[in-house]
Amino acid sequence: MSRVGQAIINVPDGVEVKKMDNQFLAKGSKGELSAPISEIVDVVIDQKVVKVELKDKNSRNKALWGTTRALINNAIQGVNIGFEKEMEIVGVGYRGALQGNKLTLNLGLSHVVEIEIPKNISIKMEGNTKFTISSADKQKLGEFAAMVRSKRPPEPFKGKGIRYSNEFILRKEGKKK
């Protein structure tokens, strides 16, 4: 049995939830999000508790059961407290800055990299090498952070590049004489 799917979700104060057709809607202080509901599950909203129940128990359905429950939980958590990823730029001369709704990165390339920040994502710079990306939508946050990281991924010899703050970079030994 799915351990994720069978767990109940407690709805915090200040968050409104409702089910409409194949969509789960959550509304809170950080905004409004929706999560798709698979046809193989029933979503039961009972006061401050949300339960995801499986209709037919086979292995594919159990996987979708846990996924649906996780998407609903992420929507509720996102509109209540939100999500954030801390990133850092490592390298001599590498730096970043915010200019309006654009993230400007100097990454040792022949040009400056400018990235348009989507409307549902916010960035807070801490100095010119550390920044925090935050959003209510966990999926869009992860996609944007991965796209920023892809502009200059950390290299294995000196560790230069853009990385997540908690990321471990496996370092290689340089050439021997």
Here the CATH number for the domain that contains residue 159 is: 3.90.930.12
Q: What is the pTM of this model?
A: 0.89
**CA-based nearest residue to 9, from 31, 33, 26:** 26
Predicted local confidence at residue 107, as pLDDT: 93
Q: Is the pLDDT score of 177 beyond 80?
A: no
Q: Contact, 34 vs 23, CB < 8 A?
A: yes
Q: Note whether 68 and 53 are same-domain residues.
A: yes
Predicted local confidence at residue 2, as pLDDT: 55
Domain that holds residue 118: 83-164
Residues 24, 4: Cα–Cα separation, whole Å: 18
Q: Note whether 123 and 157 are same-domain residues.
A: yes
Total number of domains constituting the chain: 2
Q: Note whether 97 and 131 are same-domain residues.
A: yes
pLDDT tens-digit series, residues 11-62: 999 999 999 989 999 999 999 999 999 888 889 998 899 999 988 888 788 8
pLDDT band at 176 (very low <50, low <70, confident <90, very high): confident
Q: Note whether 67 and 116 are same-domain residues.
A: no
Q: Note whether 89 and 146 are same-domain residues.
A: yes
Domain boundary among 29, 54, 80: 80
Q: Contact, 102 vs 116, CB < 8 A?
A: yes
pLDDT tens-digit series, residues 119-150: 999 999 999 999 999 999 999 999 999 999 99
Q: Note whether 89 and 68 are same-domain residues.
A: no
